[in-house]
Structure 1
Amino acid sequence: MVEEFKTFALKGNVVDLAVGVIIGAAFSRIVSSLVEDVFTPLIGLVTGGLDFTNYFIALSPEVTATTLAEAREQGAVIAYGSFLTAAINFLIVALVLFFVIRGINRLRARQEEEVAAAPTPPAEPEIPADVKLLAEIRDILAGGGEKISRTGPESH
């Protein structure tokens, strides 16, 4: 059972998947930082300091706070600002991934064009059957005078 698990765990697909997950986690942190540290402040600047994270709807009259963190302590709230922020983050991640995949596809297409443009060796011309037969006869005669035997109804 240990050997079977080792075989499974060390297969190429499992290792590739693990590398992909690790790179994905690192890429996620980069994108999160890009969204939180670059795009969110820019959106706030364009919208006049608008910050979606503190937008909420109180579900009970006991909630009187003006920030989401305080409102959650006081009671139930619908944090639609957090949802808007998550939706914006998703759109930015999707846009970044679109550009990454688009670049990869262009590189692949360029590589395929280079392979297709590479010169192919010229095809050997088709040799007619009678010429092939004559070449074989020549090779047999030149190979030491081997006797050619003819088979068929005429040979006796």
Structure 2
Amino acid sequence: MSEKNEPGVWQGFKTFLMRGNVVDLAVAVVIGAAFTNIVNSVVKGVINPLVGAFGTKSLDNYRSCLKDPCEVAADGTVTSGIPIMWGSVLGATLSFVITAAVVYFLMVLPMSKYLARQEARRRAREGAKETVEVSELEVLKEIRDALVARRGPDHDRP
């Protein structure tokens, strides 16, 4: 049996969920899923038409045949041969690279610069505080030395 002081299962679960890193992770997953849709739309709406200007209309149509004859039906099912669909791999790779570049340049890099500025400000504040504390200590030592000098060496106590 558990004691009254121990948190219950639901209380422990609530504490786990309310930690900042779990909430941040959940937000990141939702934002990432939405962002993936944007990147996929850019690849299908911008990059595929650009590729289509030089070749087929979509990267998915680029393939090589490992075993002839390669025949793929209109719905994408393979009817004969062994096709290697390298165009779809290239499209997925482009989506990944675009996603990684946008995340890095629009999220990671600015956040890193912001955190570096915050750290520099914190260190500057600490450095100024240490300078003030050292200065006060030096002043107190000078006052002590002046009082000792005024008293003279004959007086051990005030």
TM-score normalised per structure 2: 0.61
Name the CA distance, whole Å, in 2 between partners of 1:117 and 1:93: 36
Query: Aligned AA for 2:109?
Result: R
Question: Is 1:26 paired with 2:31?
Answer: no
Task: List gaps (5 residues or longer) in structure 2.
Answer: 1-8, 149-155
Name the CA distance, whole Å, in 2 between partners of 1:66 and 1:55: 14
Work out which of the residue numbers 64, 71, 81 in structure 1 matches 2:71.
Answer: 64
Following TM superposition, by how much is the alpha carbon of 1:18 offset from its aligned partner in structure 2, in angstroms? 0.8
Tell me the equivalent position of 1:132: 144
Task: List gaps (5 residues or longer) in structure 1.
Answer: 136-148, 151-156
Question: Is 1:81 paired with 2:76?
Answer: no
Cα gap change, 1:57 to 1:43, in 2 (>3 Å)? closer
Contact 1:62 1:74 (C-alpha < 8 Å) held by counterparts? no
Contact 1:56 1:79 (C-alpha < 8 Å) held by counterparts? yes
**Across the two proteins, how many residue pairs are aligned to each other?**
136
- Report the structure, 1 or 2, having the larger strand content: 2
Name the CA distance, whole Å, in 2 between partners of 1:91 and 1:9: 32
Question: Is 1:53 paired with 2:60?
Answer: yes
Following TM superposition, by how much is the alpha carbon of 1:25 offset from its aligned partner in structure 2, in angstroms? 1.2
Work out which of the residue numbers 95, 104, 119 in structure 1 matches 2:101.
Answer: 95
Following TM superposition, by how much is the alpha carbon of 1:66 offset from its aligned partner in structure 2, in angstroms? 6.2
Following TM superposition, by how much is the alpha carbon of 1:102 offset from its aligned partner in structure 2, in angstroms? 2.8
> Larger Cα Rg: Structure 1 or Structure 2?
1
Tell me the equivalent position of 2:46: 38
TM-score normalised per structure 1: 0.62
Which deviations, in whole Å up to 9, do the C-alpha atoms of 1:50-70 show, x marking residues without a partner? 532123345666753465x34
Name the CA distance, whole Å, in 2 between partners of 1:130 and 1:52: 80
Tell me the equivalent position of 2:6: none
Percent identity of equivalent pairs: 36
Name the CA distance, whole Å, in 1 between partners of 2:29 and 2:111: 19
